[in-house]
Amino acid sequence: MRTDDLKQLLHEQPVKRLHWLAKGRIHRHFRLGKARLIQALLALPPEQHHQILDDLSRLRPSTQRTATRHPSQGSRAHPRSETPRLATPSHPDQRESCVTVADLLEGIGVPPPQPFHPDAWQEEAITRLREGDVIVSVPTGSGKTYVAIEAARQAMAVDRTVIYTSPLKALSNTKLTEFVQLFGADRVGILTGERRHNPHAPLLIMTTEILRNLLYDAAGGEIDMRLDTLGLVILDESQYLADPERGVVWEETIILCPTQARLLLLSASIGNPEEIAEWIRHIRAVPCTLIQHHHRSVPLRAGYLHPSGKLTPLFTTRDIPRGQPHALHPETRRLFAEYERETLGSRGH
Amino acid sequence: MLVVKPQVMPPVIHPVDLVQTLRHKRLTPAIVFLTSRRACDEAIDSFEHRNVPLPAHRSRTIAQVLDHVIRLYPSVAQHPLLPTVQRYGVAAHHAGHLPSWKIAVEELMRHGCLDAVFATTTLAAGVDFPARTVVITQSSVRKARDLTELTVSEIQQLSGRGGRRGKDLVGFVVVTPSPYIDLHVITRGLTGNPEPIHSQFVISYPMVLNLLKAHTLDHIKSILEKSFAQFQLNQQATALEEKLETVEAQLAAFGPRPCADWITQWHWFNLAQTHRRPRHAICQDAPPILARLPFLTPGRVVGLPKGRGVVLRRYRSRSQHRAMLTVLNTQERIIECPVAQVTEIYDHTLNIEPARVFPWCTPKSLQRLMREVRELPQHLQGFPLPEDTGNDSVMLPEPLTDEFPCPMCPSQPACRKDYTKAWRLRQEHQQLTKTIHAIRSQLWHRFQQHVEVLQQFGYLTATCQLTADGEWARLIRINHSLLLTELIRMDAFTGIEPALLVGVLASIAHEDDRPGIFPRRSPALASVLGQVRTVAHSLASYEDPPLLRSDVAALGELWISQPSLSWGEFVRTTTMAEGDVYRLLARTLEYVSQLHNLKATHPGLADIADQAMQLMRRDVLQELP
Ligand SMILES: Nc1ncnc2c1ncn2[C@@H]1O[C@H](COP(=O)(O)OP(=O)(O)O)[C@@H](O)[C@H]1O
């Protein structure tokens, strides 16, 4: 469907329905009038348009659909509470504006194999590293490893040493296997407190503590060849900066990191990435780019599974509504209240 | 009519039913986060009880993948969960398991062999691989024996493992209730913004030594200023400075007065006036008491026969009109005592916001005072107090009243009117200035404190150069570094058996106080540990002592003293989970390797450390680099 057609369709909808569509998709949608709402909906990425259409087409027959679906799926444990609701759909609007469990589970499956195309943010991170430091703060599972690999490749291509640090030895090990497969066993080394394996390889894996110690020694005059040619330092899981015991090591590493080396901080979503970028800009000579987004590459949906085995959507929308913790699905709200009552009651016995 | 009784629901869905439901809805593979290690293990056990095995072809694939892992990590073959995993396609993984087991589970998940992994929420040793679905059953976790709510970051890290890129079109978080759940915490976590990161910067002895090895003091100052800690502190300070500016503007609004410091002037004038009233009473005071009175203002630090304290107010006893003080002493008690008992008056005052009723200052400032009184420096400069001979030179409030120019001053009415507000602003101004200064110099101050300690112990010279001892001590970069370097200096480890060394280091490295059953320790180990404990205790004011558990030490000792012991046999000598034992030994190994780094200055010790490392690295401890 073309955008014009969608626009037409949206114009035909009552404002209320537009608001319902905007829920969880558009920030502060309740502030917008009809024209701005439609504008904002159309400005969403194209893949969302399909979902909007889906949602729209589901709107009208929804009462019927829930009525036919529930008995087959409904929990046998609560036949009495189910029936009256079906007989008198007293709040059609409320019911209409909520997803059903069928909607929630729609589209499960394995995507067809696709040629690999780096995401725009991944490419940007890699190019920005040529001119300065980069901080990446994106949701888990977005593909930060790809950035690390390409950045390392880029630095190694110009004969620079790369140090990759992870917070845990166990993770170092996984990365070692992964990097050896990509770059060959002779180009990857690993340093731990008591062991050095291939220490003169251009790509070195270590824990952040070990790197900090290297930086101490280098500053203290113990010349280390590896630091002379150091071109890139990758700090994976940088959110460890907030770790009460070990956070200080991340700070020291960033402060003591030689100026000629680029810093690449990879982190899961954190609350104040801008502040951290600001700090690094403040203390380092090169520019620092913050790459940040909240977009989940695989959409994430939330469900509620009652101990009886009944599954309901957790929220009124299918995708997790950012910034709306109270948008609980009414059915879930009811089931959970029941759960609390029952468990509290049984604790009393 | 038939009355339907409300059905009593199980508080938690049965793990087998959970996995069945997820399978049925095509929500597998899933990672199920449970509250405890025990819950994970029991969940796996319950599959044995229900006995619903996988189809044979799936079990075969699992066996193939496992065979491959076992070739690389032989310890996996010994894992007690192996048959269950093959038969039911579910696994448990938590910090109680070996890292090689985690690799096996990860590998099985990558091949899509498992339907569910039951895990605890500890990220450090837990799962970091994705699945189609993440099941959350709790909203709080046990941290250091307390239940704490999951943070938004934590919930997003957990739920973020739902949906595998390239393998799933959509991912799911499924919340299923258990008695440990507060639904709101979870919905807030799923929909909210992660918490901001706060700097956790701390100054440690090795940090000070290593910085001083390479940099001048000035340079170190600028290095500390580069920390994220200072960056965040500066932001706080800047906010306070803005406030300070508004206070300054308000003060400036009073305009110039005949006295340059009219606020102080009026403060004294005011005090002198209030003291005039009980004139007859003052006259009864002996001269030394009279001499003390002007100093004994609220906030003054004084010495009493039993320790020190800070004056909260001064008053006269009803019966005899004796000069009395209300004092907050270092035991945080508020006591009344006659002025005559004051033994020292220090040239040191603490800030106090006076109040009219007990405890004579605002609760907030009382809180602060309690802390400040405890943290008073050892040495305080005292005022020379006149002994019993009444001396004319002492300022007395009484005659001073007449010397104040205020009664004649043209600005007196204005000052009288503005004084209270100006005094309050002035106090706020001083408070802010102090706080800002404290914030800005906090790190540097702590650095200097550490320098002083290192000088006292002889690791640094008076000019902050590393001494011969400092040169090697900087290579010990672990928690409890001071204890370790002091032990080395007093030759506690000279010629020690490798097994004893490992035992001692294990007890220094171990930070968990959960009880358990452990092997017996040798008398030799007991005696070394006794010595270590004494040293640790004597250092307690400079460094938190480690737990130094002798049972844990015995475990470390055993691993070295019986090199023929297999990992399986070894782990059976204790009730500690094998994952914990592994981490303990891995951490101990790190400590030992630090001693090995002292080759140049302590060849004998480095040699023993080397032997210990050779002996430690066998069996499971050799599997990972
Ligand atoms: N641009 C991309 N297109 C498709 N898949 C990608 C892309 N980038 C990364 N991936 C895949 O996404 C998955 C998760 O990547 P990973 O780097 O482990 O995530 P993160 O470190 O951000 O948690 C990997 O399987 C990876 O192959």
Task: List the single range of B83-87, B288-292, B415-419 with lowest mean pLDDT.
Answer: B288-292
Q: What whole-number distance in Å separates Cα of residue B317 and Cα of residue A241?
A: 57
pLDDT for the residue B390: 41
Residues of B in contact with A171 (CB under 8 A): 128
CB–CB of B163 and A304 under 8 A? no
Phi-psi domain of B182 (left: phi exceeds 0; alpha: psi -120 through 50; beta: other):
beta
Task: List the single range of A338-342, B204-208, B225-229, B476-480 with lowest mean pLDDT.
Answer: A338-342
Q: Which of A51, A66, A81 is the last residue of a domain?
A: A66
Q: Which residue of B has its CA nearest to A326?
A: B187
Give the position of tokens 């599959």: B47
Tell me whether residue A269 is in a domain.
yes
Q: Is the CB of A339 under 6 A from ligand 1?
A: no
CB–CB of B21 and A305 under 8 A? yes
Amino acid at B576: M
Hey, which residues 305-324 in chain A have their CB within 8 Å of chain B?
305-309, 311, 314-315, 320-324
Packing angle between helix B183-191 and helix B152-159, nearest 10 degrees? Answer: 80
Q: Does A57 touch chain B (CB under 8 A)?
A: no
Tell me: do A266 and A153 sit in the same domain.
Answer: yes
Task: State the fold for domain B475-623.
Answer: Sec63 N-terminal domain-like fold (1.10.3380)
**Distances B378 to A17, B297, B307 between C-alpha atoms, Å:** 72, 22, 12
Beta strand pairing call for A230-235 and A262-267: parallel
Q: Is the CB of A142 under 6 A from ligand 1?
A: yes
pLDDT for the residue B625: 64
> DSSP string spanning A121-179?
HHHHHHHHHHHSEEEEE--TTS-HHHHHHHHHHHHHHTT-EEEEEES-HHHHHHHHHHH
pLDDT for the residue A65: 38
Q: What is the mean pLDDT of residues A178-189?
A: 96
Residues of B in contact with A306 (CB under 8 A): 13, 176-177
Residues of A in contact with B625 (CB under 8 A): 169, 172-173, 176, 190, 192, 195, 197
pLDDT for the residue B275: 64
Task: List the single range of A188-197, B240-249, B433-442 with lowest mean pLDDT.
Answer: A188-197
Q: What whole-number distance in Å separates Cα of residue B96 and Cα of residue B410?
A: 82
Give the position of tokens 């005072």: B369
Do residues B22 and B28 touch, judged by C-beta distance below 8 A? yes
Domain that holds residue A17: 1-66
| Percent above pLDDT 90 for chain B | 59
Which of A117, A146, A237 most suits a substitution to test ligand 1, by most atoms within 8 Å of the C-beta? A146
Q: Is the CB of A299 under 6 A from ligand 1?
A: no
Which of B165, B167, B168 most suits a substitution to test ligand 1, by most atoms within 8 Å of the C-beta? B165
Do residues A264 and A162 touch, judged by C-beta distance below 8 A? no
| A315 phi and psi angles, rounded to 5 deg | -115, 170
B235 — pLDDT class (breaks 50, 70, 90): very high
Tell me: do A169 and A279 sit in the same domain.
Answer: yes
Element (H, E) at B206: helix B205-214
Do residues B312 and B326 touch, judged by C-beta distance below 8 A? yes
Tell me: do A137 and A257 sit in the same domain.
Answer: yes
Tell me: do A135 and A235 sit in the same domain.
Answer: yes
Tell me: do A41 and A100 sit in the same domain.
Answer: no
Beta strand pairing call for A196-197 and B30-34: unpaired
Do residues B273 and B419 touch, judged by C-beta distance below 8 A? no
Amino acid at B479: N
Tell me: do A170 and A194 sit in the same domain.
Answer: yes
Residues of A in contact with B175 (CB under 8 A): 302-305, 314
- CATH code that applies to domain B285-393: 2.30.30
Mutate to test the interface with B, among A108, A249, A319 (most CBs of B within 10 A): A108
CB count within 10 Å of CB A341 equals 12
For residue A117, which atom of ligand 1 is closest to its CA?
A: 1
Tell me: do A57 and A103 sit in the same domain.
Answer: no
Tell me: do A221 and A325 sit in the same domain.
Answer: no
pLDDT, tens only, B117-147: 999 887 555 677 899 999 999 998 877 667 8
CA atoms within 13 A on the CB side of A244: 2
Q: What is the mean pLDDT of residues B15-36?
A: 94
- ipTM (interface predicted TM): 0.77
For residue B600, the SS3 value is: coil
pLDDT, tens only, A25-34: 777 676 677 7
pLDDT at A91 over 80: no
Residues of B in contact with A190 (CB under 8 A): 625
**Distances B123 to B105, B129, B479 between C-alpha atoms, Å:** 15, 11, 22
For residue A229, the SS3 value is: coil
pLDDT for the residue A85: 39
Return the sign of the alpha-carbon dihedral for residues B559, B565, B571, B573.
negative
Q: Residue A111 C-alpha to ligand 1 middle, in angstroms?
A: 14
pLDDT, tens only, B144-157: 667 889 999 999 99
- The CATH 2.30.30 domain(s) of chain B lie at 285-393
Tell me whether residue A78 is in a domain.
no
Min distance B177 CA to chain A CA atoms (Å): 7
Q: Is the CB of A121 under 6 A from ligand 1?
A: no
Q: Nearest by CB to A342, from B8, B191, B215: name it.
A: B8
Tell me whether residue A72 is in a domain.
no
Amino acid at A339: Y
The conformation of residue B304, written as its DSSP 8-state character, comes to: E
Tell me whether residue A82 is in a domain.
no
pLDDT at B229 over 70: yes
Tell me whether residue A62 is in a domain.
yes
Q: What whole-number distance in Å separates Cα of residue B470 and Cα of residue B311?
A: 44
| A204 phi and psi angles, rounded to 5 deg | -115, 135
pLDDT, tens only, B256-310: 888 878 888 888 887 777 766 554 544 556 777 777 787 888 888 998 888 889 9
Min distance A346 CA to chain B CA atoms (Å): 8
Tell me whether residue A216 is in a domain.
yes
Task: List the single range of A136-150, B93-107, B210-224, B446-460 with lowest mean pLDDT.
Answer: B93-107
Q: What is the mean pLDDT of residues B355-372?
A: 84
Q: Is the CB of B165 under 6 A from ligand 1?
A: yes
Specify the higher pLDDT residue, B143 or B504.
B504
Tell me whether residue A80 is in a domain.
no
- In this structure, which residue's CA is closest to atom 27 in ligand 1? A143
Number of domains in chain A: 3
pLDDT, tens only, A205-217: 999 999 999 999 8
Q: Which CATH number fits domain B15-191: 3.40.50.1970, 3.30.390.50, 3.40.50.300, 3.30.300.130?
A: 3.40.50.300
- In this structure, which residue's CA is closest to atom 7 in ligand 1? A143
pLDDT, tens only, A261-297: 999 999 998 999 999 999 999 999 999 999 999 999 9
pLDDT for the residue B333: 86
Rg (chain B; Cα; Å): 34
Give the position of tokens 């097994």: B499
Question: pLDDT averaged over chain A?
Answer: 83
Tell me: do A59 and A159 sit in the same domain.
Answer: no
- The CATH 3.40.50.300 domain(s) of chain B lie at 15-191
Tell me: do A285 and A191 sit in the same domain.
Answer: yes
Tell me whether residue A74 is in a domain.
no
Q: What whole-number distance in Å separates Cα of residue B438 and Cα of residue B234?
A: 11
Q: What whole-number distance in Å separates Cα of residue B161 and Cα of residue B178?
A: 21
Tell me: do A182 and A271 sit in the same domain.
Answer: yes
pLDDT at A93 over 80: no
| Percent above pLDDT 70 for chain A | 83
pTM over 0.80: no
pLDDT, tens only, B194-204: 999 999 999 99
CB–CB of B474 and A305 under 8 A? no
Q: What whole-number distance in Å separates Cα of residue B40 and Cα of residue B447?
A: 45
Residues of A in contact with B593 (CB under 8 A): 193-194
Which of A121, A297, A298, A300 most suits a substitution to test ligand 1, by most atoms within 8 Å of the C-beta? A297
pLDDT at B404 over 80: no
Q: Please name the residues in contact with B258: beta carbons below 8 A apart, sequence gap of 6 or more.
A: B405, B409, B410, B411
Tell me: do A111 and A126 sit in the same domain.
Answer: no
For residue A236, which atom of ligand 1 is closest to its CA?
A: 21
Phi-psi domain of A303 (left: phi exceeds 0; alpha: psi -120 through 50; beta: other):
beta
Q: What is the CATH number of the domain that holds A287?
A: 3.40.50.300
pLDDT for the residue A171: 83
What are the E-state strand segments in B278-413?
A: 300-304, 307-316, 323-329, 334-338, 344-349
Specify the higher pLDDT residue, A159 or A12.
A159
CB count within 10 Å of CB B3 equals 4
